[in-house]
Amino acid sequence: MEEEESLRVVRCGGSELNFRRAVFSADSKYIFCVSGDFVKVYSTATEECVHILHGHSKLVTGVQPNPNNHLQLYSCSLDGTIKLWDYLDGILIKTFVVGHKLHALFTVAHAEDSVFVTINKEKPDVFQLVSVKLPKSSSQEIEAKEVSFVLDYINQSPKCIAFGNEGEYVAAARDFYLSVYFFKKKTTSRFTLSSSKNKKHAKNDFTCVACHPKEDCIASGHRDGKIRLWRNFDDDKKYTYTCLHWHHDMVMDLAFSVTGTSLLSGGRESVLVEWRDATEKNKEFLPRLGATIEHISVSPAGDLFCTSHSDNKIIVIHRNLEASAIIQGLVKDRNIFTGLLIDPRTSALVLNGKPGHLQFYSLQSDKQLYNLDIIQQEYINDSDLIQIELTKAAFDCQGNWLATVEQRQEKETELELQMKLWAYNKKTQGFVLNTRVGMPHEDHITALCFCKAEKSENPTLVTASKDGHFKVWILTDDSDIYRKAFGWTCDFVGSYHKYQATNCCFSEDGSLLAVSFEEIVTIWDSETWELKCTFCQRAGKIRHLCFGRLTCSKYLLGATENDFLCCWNLLSCELEWSTKLNVKVMETDPNSENIAAIAQSSVGSDLFVFKPSEPRPLYIQKTISREEVHWGVFVPRDVPESFTSEAYQWLNRSQFYFLTKSQSLLTFSAKSPEEKLTPTSKQLLAEESLPTTPFYFILGKHRQQQDETLNDSSGNELVQLPLTENIPAISELLHTPAHVLPSASFLCSMFINSLLLSKETKSAEEIPDDVDMEEERKSDDSDEENDFTEKIQDTDTIDLGEDILHQLSKSEEKELRKLRKVDYSWIAAL
């Protein structure tokens, strides 16, 4: 096992899908979007990821279809290369090495062998639009150094550059300027918004630009929510513009429809606006898309639009403004308050998702399973508003209960708190709100934990709060003769000298509860809620607290703010050991005694895996990430791995995931990168799951009818040859390549034998029976068409083997007998 030698930190959980505009294929069947170092190909009908094109070594910044071959795709990346792909097979065709960091890619239909890219030279904030000639060559990797300069001082974002009227001109916007470069005249016109000159804090700077596909018209979006339509811009003096205003916040993206009759715009309101005929009156809306619209794109065929949203989602929208598909990645829009949780039922990762929602994300299939609406209130998309935040969540050990805490604090004294308890409903396979507790505590809730003991008959929840109390909540039966009702009620309130309760944690068997009050750890008996003992190390407030598991269940671990990690022995009530370590994350493995601690150092974050009973850590990895690690979690593996080396044994039964400050989800992998890649065999599946089109209905029905008539006629003939497809020998013969087959003379007898009727003549009887079944079903369906069904019934009687014998003439009977005799002799001879 060579690859075991190094344990690598790998990114998982998908990257942003909304980094750049998604691009449709020519037939609108597929949609391409950049995602980290990859280009992902999704089916627009099934939302399935068909291919992941990997080859770039750095962030992919642009993707465009090849205008000369609509089965090919260009992509550019920060690694300085442009790659040409065949997206149907997922094959890299060519690589063009440009050399500079490429920030955006544009293709124009008439410029056959060149593409346009955005590069930055020297200064970090100065970008140039250049055209790159792609040399024709048969080799895989080609140097493309022939770069010609087009426009200088442009915006980095590709949204601010648009090619108009089949590539006659290019419009680029930056700050308060709109520059238009005409390729034929080779001149640049520059327009400035009049109001921006005198006002210092004018909000009407450009955010995006789009060009009309047929006419000389440029649409520009502005930060104040206005859309300007520029005309006659080939003349510096006579240019005009008209204003469209609906958005109250920044216009994030604009797109013209293929024919140019309508303009689409979107922004923070998360409403897609369609402006018909470029007039203010004719507007259509598609509201409540969930999050800020970042990009809008239009399919070349004109039947679909798609919007990319800030919550890592792509919505495919039909021409009549109906959403038809949603491609959802891991939502990383906002702060993660809940930490990483594991749903015990689906073993999905659970964390904050859309505003007010919990997202359930399957790590195995890298796909969002569903969103659970916790707050259940209309989300108002406004940057100034203080929203209700979902701050805490916890599952019980079987996944039957979910507890969530939400809060909203407008002023120091006005805190709105709500705790909700959700029961898992087996029928609907989802969580249903059971109990809502308004203001469970008087101050912020700092910790929330369920008693995880398997045997406990009554679920118990503990909340710790800054108001100095911890509360124990139990499920109580409130049912009477009228209805069945279960609800959660407060069972016990504990405090310790008015200190703030900061953490709470149950022991593995549920017999002890540890609650930390600032610097002091208190141990409570969970039967009687008596204070058993206290530990105090005077080493700062307790940041993390956890019990050891399995053989180490007599230890309690606490990490403090003054960089101490302490381990107490619960039997002797003494400090077992302590060490100086700035622990940011401490997680216990549910399947073993191991505890993972991530410590913050000046360089980055370090991982320590240890058993509480042993003085030496099992595994240390320095600088797993340069950033601060905020959360971590052990995910039990479905199939245990078998790492033999001592250092990796802690990964055998569980996998460790962690989330950094910039919200990238990382994990450890011992496999080489090639092995980790998913095979592209999914493609076939996706093709099959494509929806049935009207053509399928017509052709498919026709084919079925043909089959039926065929069966009918064969039924009339009575002696039916077995269908050749059903015999394995024949199919094997037909599907084996000719050069590996034995000689034809050898195969002949075998082949003939396989065509003969078997002894029981089973197939001959069974097949007509099946037909009968179908016919009967059909006759049930069509009661009105009486004459038709009668006809079918006629054929029914003919089909039945036994009945026929009575109806057959004697001569035919004789023939039949003869035939049977012949059959038997054949079989006997064999």
Partner 1 sequence: MAGYKPVAIQTYPILGEKITQDTLYWNNYKTPVQIKEFGAVSKVDFSPQPPYNYAVTASSRIHIYGRYSQEPIKTFSRFKDTAYCATFRQDGKLLVAGSEDGGVQLFDISGRAPLRQFEGHTKAVHTVDFTADKYHVVSGADDYTVKLWDIPNSKAILTFKEHSDYVRCGCASKLNPDLFVTGSYDHTVKMFDTRTNESVISVEHGQPVESVLLFPSGGLLVSAGGRYVKVWDMLKGGQLLVSLKNHHKTVTCLYLSSSGQRLLSGSLDRKVKIYSTASYKVVHSFDYAASILSLALAHEDETIVVGMTNGILSVKHRKSEAKKDASSRKRRPAYRTFIKGKNYTKQRDDISITRPSKKHLELYDRDLKNFRISKALDRVLEPEITIKTPEITVSIIKELNRRGVLANALAGRDEKELSRILNFLIRNLSQPRFAPVLINVAEIIIDIYLPVIGQSPVVDKKFLLLQGLVEKEIDYQRELLETLGMMEMLFATTTTKESTFLLEHKSDGLLGKKIES
481 binds partner 1 (CB under 8 A): yes
695 binds partner 1 (CB under 8 A): no
Query: What minimum distance in Å lies between the beta carbon of 509 and partner 1?
Result: 33
- In the sheet with 313-318, reading across from the earlier edge strand, the strands are 293-298, 304-309, 313-318, 323-328
- Strand 49-54 with 38-43, pairing: antiparallel
Query: What minimum distance in Å lies between the beta carbon of 414 and partner 1?
Result: 6
Question: Applying CB under 8 A, which of residues 122, 414, 646, 787 lies at the interface with partner 1?
Answer: 414
Long-range contacts of residues 621-626, Cβ cutoff 8 Å, at least 24 apart: 621/7, 624/9, 624/598, 624/658, 624/666, 625/9, 625/658, 625/660, 625/666
290 binds partner 1 (CB under 8 A): yes
412 binds partner 1 (CB under 8 A): no
Tell me how far apart the alpha carbons of residues 315 and 286 are, in angstroms, rounded to a whole number.
12
The residue count of the chain comes to 830
Question: Applying CB under 8 A, which of residues 438, 679, 691, 728 lies at the interface with partner 1?
Answer: 438
In contact, 231 and 243? CB cutoff 8 Å? no
Query: What minimum distance in Å lies between the beta carbon of 22 and partner 1?
Result: 17
Chain CA centroid to CA 335, Å: 18
In contact, 433 and 420? CB cutoff 8 Å? yes
Tokens representing 361?
Answer: 């994300």
Neighbours of 634 (CB within 10 A): 23
Query: What minimum distance in Å lies between the beta carbon of 573 and partner 1?
Result: 23
Query: What minimum distance in Å lies between the beta carbon of 696 and partner 1?
Result: 13
The residue (of 475 and 514) whose beta carbon lies closer to partner 1 is 475
Question: Applying CB under 8 A, which of residues 326, 453, 647, 718 lies at the interface with partner 1?
Answer: 326
Query: What minimum distance in Å lies between the beta carbon of 515 and partner 1?
Result: 22
Nearest to 390 by CA among 411, 373, 414: 373
Tell me how far apart the alpha carbons of residues 327 and 314 are, in angstroms, rounded to a whole number.
5
Neighbours of 282 (CB within 10 A): 11
The residue (of 387 and 591) whose beta carbon lies closer to partner 1 is 387
Query: What minimum distance in Å lies between the beta carbon of 12 and partner 1?
Result: 26
410 binds partner 1 (CB under 8 A): yes
Query: What minimum distance in Å lies between the beta carbon of 165 and partner 1?
Result: 36
Tokens representing 393?
Answer: 């969540």
Q: Residue 699: helix, strand or coil by DSSP?
A: helix
Query: What minimum distance in Å lies between the beta carbon of 44 and partner 1?
Result: 16
The residue (of 140 and 482) whose beta carbon lies closer to partner 1 is 482
Among the listed ranges 91-99, 174-182, 369-377, 489-497, the one in contact with partner 1 (CB under 8 A) is: 369-377
Among the listed ranges 152-160, 477-485, 576-584, 585-593, the one in contact with partner 1 (CB under 8 A) is: 477-485
Query: What minimum distance in Å lies between the beta carbon of 561 and partner 1?
Result: 32
388 binds partner 1 (CB under 8 A): yes
In order of 389, 533, 560, 651, the CA distances from 612 in angstroms are 35, 20, 16, 17
Q: Which helix (H) or strand (E) holds 818?
A: helix 810-829
Q: Residue 627: helix, strand or coil by DSSP?
A: coil
Among the listed ranges 51-59, 113-121, 287-295, 296-304, the one in contact with partner 1 (CB under 8 A) is: 287-295
Question: Applying CB under 8 A, which of residues 100, 408, 444, 682 lies at the interface with partner 1?
Answer: 408
The residue (of 386 and 573) whose beta carbon lies closer to partner 1 is 386
Chain CA centroid to CA 301, Å: 26
Among the listed ranges 85-93, 197-205, 382-390, 685-693, the one in contact with partner 1 (CB under 8 A) is: 382-390
Angle at 131 between CA 130 and CA 133, to 5 degrees: 145
Among the listed ranges 284-292, 527-535, 760-768, 786-794, the one in contact with partner 1 (CB under 8 A) is: 284-292
323 binds partner 1 (CB under 8 A): yes
Nearest to 392 by CA among 455, 337, 346: 337
Residue located via tokens 């709060």: 465
Tell me how far apart the alpha carbons of residues 481 and 477 are, in angstroms, rounded to a whole number.
12
The residue (of 481 and 738) whose beta carbon lies closer to partner 1 is 481
781 binds partner 1 (CB under 8 A): yes
315 binds partner 1 (CB under 8 A): yes
Nearest to 353 by CA among 404, 413, 395, 304: 404
In order of 43, 90, 92, the CA distances from 684 in angstroms are 12, 13, 19
Among the listed ranges 210-218, 378-386, 664-672, 812-820, the one in contact with partner 1 (CB under 8 A) is: 378-386
The residue (of 286 and 552) whose beta carbon lies closer to partner 1 is 286
Q: What are phi and psi of 686, to 5 degrees?
A: -65, -40
In contact, 254 and 210? CB cutoff 8 Å? yes
Question: Applying CB under 8 A, which of residues 377, 672, 716, 753 lies at the interface with partner 1?
Answer: 377
Query: What minimum distance in Å lies between the beta carbon of 286 and partner 1?
Result: 10
In order of 11, 55, 98, 136, 641, the CA distances from 8 in angstroms are 10, 19, 30, 39, 16
How far separated are the first and last CA of the chain, in Å rounded? 54
Among the listed ranges 479-487, 530-538, 682-690, 815-823, the one in contact with partner 1 (CB under 8 A) is: 479-487
Among the listed ranges 47-55, 283-291, 399-407, 495-503, the one in contact with partner 1 (CB under 8 A) is: 283-291
Query: What minimum distance in Å lies between the beta carbon of 307 and partner 1?
Result: 11
Query: What minimum distance in Å lies between the beta carbon of 794 and partner 1?
Result: 22
Query: What minimum distance in Å lies between the beta carbon of 17 and partner 1?
Result: 16
Q: Residue 799: helix, strand or coil by DSSP?
A: helix
The residue ranges that bind partner 1 (CB under 8 A) are 288-290, 315, 323, 326, 373, 376-378, 380, 382, 384-386, 388, 408, 410, 414, 438, 480-482, 781-782
